[in-house]
Amino acid sequence: MLEADVAQALVEARHGDPFAVLGLHTDAAGALWLRVLNPQAAAVSAVVGGQVVAPLTARGDGLFEGRLPGKARVDYRLKIQWAAGGEGEYADAYAFGPQLSDDEIRRLRDGNEARAFEILGSQPVTHGDVAGVRFAVWAPNARRVSVVGSFNAWDGRRHAMRLRHDVGVWELFVPHAQAGDFYKYELIGADGHLQPLKADPYARSTELRPETASVVAPLPPKRRLPPGRAEANRRDAPISVYECHPASWRKGRDGGFPTWEELANTLPAYVAGLGFTHLELLPISEHPFDGSWGYQTLGLFAPSRRFGPPEQFEVFVQACHDHGLGLLLDWVPAHFPTDGFGMARFDGTALYEYQDPKEGFHRDWNTLIYNFGRSEVRSFLASSALYWVERWGVDGLRVDAVASMLYRDYSRPSGEWVPNHHGGRENLEAIALLQHVNEVLGREAPGAITVAEESTSFPGVSQPTYLGGLGFHFKWNMGWMNDTLRYIHEDPIHRRYHHHQMTFGLVYAFSENFMLPISHDEVVHGKGSLFDKMPGDEWQKFANTRAYLGFMWGHPGKKLLFMGQEWGQRGEWNHDVGLPWHQLDDARHAGVRRWVGDLNALYRGTPALHRLDCEAQGFEWVASHDEESSVYAWLRHDGQGGSVLVVCNLTPVPRHGYRLGVPSTHGAWREVLNSDSEHYGGSNVGNGPQALAVQALAAHGRSHSLALTLPPLATVFLVPA
């Protein structure tokens, strides 16, 4: 019989090694003893070969034990009479040996496991004829860990787990648990105190908020990127991204969150119909607070339950690919929220986060910063990145808040941050992590891309790691965005004094592979929508909006536009309601949308506008110093003889006979797009479809020139006739 103090530790859920006493054991005399802890049972018997061989004696508080006949170990089952009524025959969790193989333990211990999601978390498996779920969780400093859930009445005494000491992982096979079961982990922390029930950091599915349980879900199969995706993601390809917050793009049939199926039936077709090449979703990984827009995530492996069962996400991904769209997801490795059911002090210690709040607490967002230097956290984050690409088939990730990761003094005053071991401000661990993530994706998911939201001048963000860079494919050009939005907000009469703000971006435009972002961040928190930023009366606001978008599409760099801005949405984006689609009843807004569609068509179909987006050879100024007229003109080249002339007149004054120096290699040019066309809601001033002859008159340092009509507050595109 079990010693009283050991029995008491079991029933009080204090025992740190339940496998040492529960299940089948041999005593000093060679006799077999079976022990079972199940507080919901009224009676338990041992069954061998379909026959009851020994009723077990109740020791109190759900502990049963008894001696089995013979001395040879046997395959047994438990016949349980439940205190609430009914009975059944079950396999015993403590009849099964270690679940993680030596190879899996070694891979976790090495700290570079790119697919930790195959090892940790909940995995439906079968042992012999017994189906169940293998649970495994990293909690090295916990004194005891149990998995609790809908399969054991949320009783932490029933399924205490086995500790694999080499890696600090607790594991257990729970017979008869299955996909769809709810679960969490119950831990006694390093200090001996019971922690709040913890959701699984590796959960692939969760309850809908405000509920917080993890849900057992099978591992999605591996998926290959569609043929041609690698080609479509190249730096010389046209990349035009529609950024979308799916919860507020269009509400569901019931006025709440749209389902993945509803989104699949509408969103990809809409985005593809406007000529965008990629769709980017704000974070869809599970998060507790709607108002964070997904940027405070606690489910880095779980598509949010807001949009229905996670498996429906596959339908949406396929719909994007069927429409020829690449799908990018916003991904957040910088920080996580402090909710008690999440990763904060997961095992009673700072496990996923830095211990020192000078390193581990984000003052701006009241969140916790991942401990980027810890190998297990490195594996967690790298595995999450690979998971979305490899298991869901998305085409790439836009990585949020990279600047906050790169600098230890980010948004911290002097004395409130911890220098690196060289005494500098760079977070060397975060740099190494980002390089590692990009290398993993490059090796394991070729063709996928990563895009950095990085707002500083940190060098080499989009340089390969073998050259010392971070390894991203593209970087958001935040400087360009800030400068040009400040300029366009000025009344045209004052723009002459801010002329450089539209040209300064070309000083550094080819130092990185840039993407030009007019993102969600620019249309909230009192900043106004893109349309609202424009000065002047209604006519000028529309004209400015179209002209600015034309400037953006003609400028070197890939494009990104947040939803609603494609028609010049009035009013800020509100995540609680759907987009104001009724505004498209106004022909002027519909005209802006047609303009964006035609810009995308020209951009995609004209190699000079995209092939050398990231190369200095693809850009040539024609007129950059006409401050008095607020005129800008430049040439885009494709490196193979093709060119486009882009001209912006950012005052409301039409300019007739405006002469621009152009190459003598082309005898005539033809206007192909004009934002002032009546087709888009403009005044229809322009150059018409006829060819415009190049004349042997010097201008802008060239021997030949072209005389143009420049419409008011407009951007025009011309190609050789």
Structure tokens, 407 = 């600098």
For residue 70, what pLDDT is reported?
A: 86
pLDDT tens digits, 178-220: 999 999 999 999 999 999 999 999 999 999 999 999 999 999 9
pLDDT tens digits, 394-437: 999 999 999 999 999 999 999 999 999 999 999 999 999 999 99
For residue 16, what pLDDT is reported?
A: 82
Confidence band for 253, pLDDT divided at 50, 70 and 90: confident
Closest C-alpha to 512, from 614, 644, 663, 363: 614
User: Of the given ranges (1-10, 164-173, 314-323), which has the lowest mean pLDDT?
Assistant: 1-10
Phi-psi region of 465 (alpha: psi -120 to 50; beta: other; left: phi over 0): alpha
- Residue 314 falls in the annotated catalytic set: no
pLDDT tens digits, 115-127: 999 999 999 999 9
For residue 249, what pLDDT is reported?
A: 97
pLDDT tens digits, 683-711: 999 999 999 999 999 999 999 999 999 99
pLDDT exceeds 90 at position 287: yes
Tell me how far apart the alpha carbons of residues 300 and 336 are, in angstroms, rounded to a whole number.
10
Phi-psi region of 356 (alpha: psi -120 to 50; beta: other; left: phi over 0): beta
Tell me how far apart the alpha carbons of residues 651 and 715 are, in angstroms, rounded to a whole number.
11
Tell me how far apart the alpha carbons of residues 275 and 597 are, in angstroms, rounded to a whole number.
6
If one looks up domain 4-92 in CATH, what number appears? 2.60.40.10
State the pTM of this model.
0.95
For residue 225, what pLDDT is reported?
A: 85
Q: Tell me, yes or no, if the two domains 4-92 and 229-476 fold the same way.
A: no
Task: Report CA 127 to chain centroid distance, whole Å.
Answer: 35
**Among the four given CATH numbers 3.30.420.40, 3.40.50.720, 2.60.40.1180, 1.10.3720.10, the one describing domain 618-720:** 2.60.40.1180
For residue 111, what pLDDT is reported?
A: 82
User: Of the given ranges (59-73, 122-136, 162-176, 408-422), which has the lowest mean pLDDT?
Assistant: 59-73
For residue 227, what pLDDT is reported?
A: 86
14 DSSP 8-state letter = -
- Give the domain ranges of the chain: 4-92, 102-215, 229-476, 618-720
Between strands 144-149 and 182-188, the pairing is antiparallel
Tell me how far apart the alpha carbons of residues 207 and 370 are, in angstroms, rounded to a whole number.
24
Closest C-alpha to 714, from 692, 691, 689, 685: 685
Closest C-alpha to 570, from 628, 531, 624: 531
Q: What's the topology of domain 102-215? A: Immunoglobulin-like (2.60.40)
Confidence band for 644, pLDDT divided at 50, 70 and 90: very high
For residue 14, what pLDDT is reported?
A: 86
pLDDT average, residue stretch 283-303: 96
Residue 16 or 539, more confident: 539
DSSP string, 316-359: HHHHHHHTT-EEEEEE--SEE---TTTTTTTTSS-SSB-SSHHH
pLDDT exceeds 80 at position 1: no
Structure tokens, 301 = 């492996």
pLDDT average, residue stretch 148-175: 96
Confidence band for 2, pLDDT divided at 50, 70 and 90: confident
Q: Which of 453, 454, 512, 613 is catalytic?
A: 453
**E strand map for 339-471:** 361-362, 367-369, 396-399, 449-452
Confidence band for 83, pLDDT divided at 50, 70 and 90: very high
pLDDT average, residue stretch 129-157: 97
Confidence band for 28, pLDDT divided at 50, 70 and 90: confident
- Residue 453 falls in the annotated catalytic set: yes
Q: Which of 400, 512, 522, 671 is catalytic?
A: 400
Tell me how far apart the alpha carbons of residues 173 and 96 are, in angstroms, rounded to a whole number.
7
| Domain 229-476 of CATH type 3.20.20.80 | yes
pLDDT average, residue stretch 55-66: 93
Task: Report CA 249 to chain centroid distance, whole Å.
Answer: 17
Give the three-state DSSP class for 132: strand
Task: Report CA 37 to chain centroid distance, whole Å.
Answer: 42
Buried b (16+ CB within 10 A) or exposed e, 236-247: bbbbbbbbbbbb
pLDDT exceeds 80 at position 654: yes
For residue 674, what pLDDT is reported?
A: 98
